[in-house]
A and B are shown apart, each in its own frame.
Chain A
């Protein structure tokens, strides 16, 4: 018997696999495919204070081994999420829930966090969405702005606070350290990379919003490198994210320094992705002679 459990910010996860925010809705649609209780945790769709429709369509473009999205944080607003979506999820799901929150000002972030944090086990502060103007990523690309929003939210947050960082920066360790010093309990690395595609026949960008977030298998090495760098620079736990599509990817990310691992775009290609990864994890561990997964977190120096 192998041990797949990990401890994330004081919370025990039965395994490190978490569907990433924006790629599992509020759980209901994935629950039509498998019993969500096999997951390590779930990170629900990015939530803002007010309801948002998001950007115009097309919002999806394909790339070699990946995709672009410019959804732009479509969600029904924190009130509905806290009052309806989370209770609905909890009816059938009894593992940890991570709320993913976004905002356009520090006040919005704190108000959103206050409304939702008591309903969930962990809060993921999204300061890295590339699809909304002067919100999201604007906070994630400056160390001082990142520190301001993290310390403000930290004061109102009753749960462990994990900050989700953008890879669209020159040195991610600078932002990561600023968040750690401002009181973050953990970090999620990475959100999407800003990308673009053009339909050469129509001579127009594929996405109505022109640019969008690049994700999927192609970004795995970039995510892995950033996790490795941040693991060496910070002491707080890291949730790895970006291009994960197999149990072996999960182990590789953990070796680079991730305590838990999120699976994003792969869920869109294969609704059973997380289930299959979780089922394969013990088999893969046996092949690699790993009996306790957490002992392998950050073994690469």
Chain B
């Protein structure tokens, strides 16, 4: 399905991440609805492979601040973003179409760390927070690890990237609040039945807090905050951590479980 990365395995092998931030003007190849209010934007242009768990800041016509969106899939020359319409900026993004250009800066933030490489990591996604786990699953597979995916949604119609995750993960488990797909309830209700030695999580704060408390294993969590700049100059996104104040956009968005104070 990730058509642009003709050879996904080969592409990931070359993901020697260029951590230098840059401003890019990319072309939209497609921008289509993949679940309720969720869009998938495929971009092409001169851009290096961006690290899993890093993000970009997108300039949206008529919006003063850029919009932070995670790297969903990336290889040299291509970038896939999956985003949910929640307000004016994401609505305007969803109205863009083939041939139009997107001004973005990236790759921002630290991204997920794959070392030491866990043998059986559990990837936990909450809603749209599942999007950045795709590149993570790709990279884990390429590095020789077999991830499981546990993703929680409100309803069956919110689920996206199912085929992509199924291709990469040993097991894909969905939970929905209304029970319309998979197990009814929240992701935390399934945790005890799964075998894993490490976890990666991205989703709303209450979910992150719940999984972090419930899981005895170490792991990494990707956080979200309203951002001014996205690249560390404004101090808009700071949190207190065990290691002192950190900027979610710069030292994060990914933090190790033990760093977070909740």
Q: Report which A residues bind B (CB closer than 8 A).
A: 22-25, 29-30, 32-33, 45, 53-54, 57-67, 69, 71, 74, 206, 216-217, 265, 267-272
Interface digits, B187-205 against A, CB 8 Å rule (1 contact, 0 not)?
Answer: 0000000000000000000
Name the segment of B92-100, B157-165, B220-228 touching the other chain: B220-228
Does the CB pair A23–B65 fall under 8 Å? no
* 5 shortest interchain CB distances as A-B pairs: A268-B229, A29-B232, A60-B236, A58-B226, A74-B235
* Neighbouring A residues of B64 by C-beta, 8 Å: 62-67, 216-217, 265, 269
* A45 to B238 CA separation, bound complex (whole angstroms): 15
Tell me, rounded to whole Å, the shortest Cβ–Cβ distance linking A41 to chain B: 16
In the assembled complex, the Cα of A22 lies from the Cα of B229 at a distance in Å of 11
Which B residues form the contact surface with A (CB < 8 A)?
Answer: 20-21, 23, 59, 63-66, 105, 225-229, 231-240, 245, 250
Task: State how many angstroms separate the Cβ of B229 from the closest Cβ of chain A.
Answer: 4
Contacts known (A59-B226, A67-B228); A268 close to B233, Cβ less than 8 A? yes
Known: A60-B236, A271-B23. A74 touches B245 (CB 8 A): yes
Chain A residues positioned under 8 Å from B225 (CB to CB): 57-58
Give Cα distance in the complex from A67 to B239, angstroms.
20
Give the chain B neighbours of A60 by CB distance below 8 A: 65, 226-228, 234, 236-237
Main secondary structure of the interface of B (DSSP, over half): loop
A-B contact count (CB 8 A): 90
Contact partners of A65 in chain B: CB under 8 A: 64
- Measured CA separation A92–B232 after assembly (Å): 19
State the majority secondary structure of interface residues on A.
loop
Q: Are A33 and B21 in contact (CB under 8 A)?
A: yes
Q: Which of B66, B227, B229, B238 contacts A74 (CB 8 A)?
A: B238
Residue of chain B at shortest CB distance from A58 = B226
* Complex contacts, A270 vs chain B, CB 8 Å: 23
Known: A32-B21, A33-B21. A62 touches B63 (CB 8 A): yes
Q: Are A23 and B23 closer than 8 Å at their CB atoms?
A: no
| Distance to closest chain A CB from B209 (angstroms) | 15
Asked whether B238 lies within 8 Å of A53 as measured between CB atoms, the reply is yes
Q: Are B238 and A57 in contact (CB under 8 A)?
A: yes
Known: A65-B64, A69-B234, A74-B238. A57 touches B226 (CB 8 A): yes
Q: Which of B23, B234, B240 contacts A272 (CB 8 A)?
A: B23
Give the distance to chain A from B65, nearest Cβ to Cβ, in Å: 5
Q: Which residues of B contact A33 (CB under 8 A)?
A: 21
Q: List 23 A-B contacts (CB under 8 A).
A: A25-B235, A30-B233, A32-B21, A32-B231, A33-B21, A54-B238, A57-B226, A57-B237, A58-B225, A60-B227, A60-B236, A62-B64, A71-B234, A71-B236, A216-B64, A217-B64, A268-B228, A268-B234, A269-B59, A269-B64, A270-B23, A271-B233, A272-B23
Chain B neighbourhood of A64, CB < 8 A: 64
Taken together as a complex, chains A and B put the C-alpha atoms of A32 and B250 apart, in Å, by: 12
